[in-house]
Each structure stands twice: as structure tokens, then as C-alpha cells.
């Protein structure tokens, strides 16, 4: 699964880890995260994330 980085807060979302503290279970692809989810570092919306390697 692809990782995504917040261009504002430099947080990298890794699907293998998810974001359990904010309701996203491990192994959740980025595309399946709810649209109202925000970057845990800076609070930016999901649409500021870009795919990274």
C-alpha cells in the first residue's frame, strides 16, 4: 500500500500502521480514510496529502 505525506505538517501516513489514535485502523488504505480525517500533526485536511515513496 502507498504512503502519503502531509505537505504542511510533514506527517507520513503509513497504511500498515494506520492512525489508531484518530480512529483509523492499521491496514487502512489512504483512499478509505474518512474525508473529515485530519493530519495528526498540524490538523490539515486529507486533501493536502501527496503520495510519497
Q: What is the pLDDT along the chain (53 residues), one digit of tens a residue?
A: 899 999 999 999 999 999 999 999 999 999 999 999 999 999 999 999 999 97
Query: What is the model's pTM?
Result: 0.92
C-alpha cell at 50: 501527496
Q: Which residues pair with 3 in a beta bridge?
A: 52
Q: What is the pLDDT of residue 53?
A: 77
Q: 34 phi and psi, to 5 degrees?
A: -55, 145
- One DSSP character per residue, 1-53 reads --EEEETTT--EE-TTT-BGGGTB-TT--GGGS-TT-B-TTT--BGGGEEEE-
Amino acid at each position: 500500500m502507498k504512503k502519503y505525506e502531509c505537505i504542511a505538517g510533514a506527517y507520513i501516513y503509513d497504511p500498515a500502521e494506520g492512525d489508531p489514535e484518530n480512529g483509523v485502523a492499521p491496514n487502512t488504505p489512504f483512499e478509505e480514510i474518512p474525508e473529515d480525517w485530519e493530519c495528526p500533526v498540524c490538523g490539515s485536511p486529507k486533501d493536502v496529502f501527496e503520495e510519497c515513496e
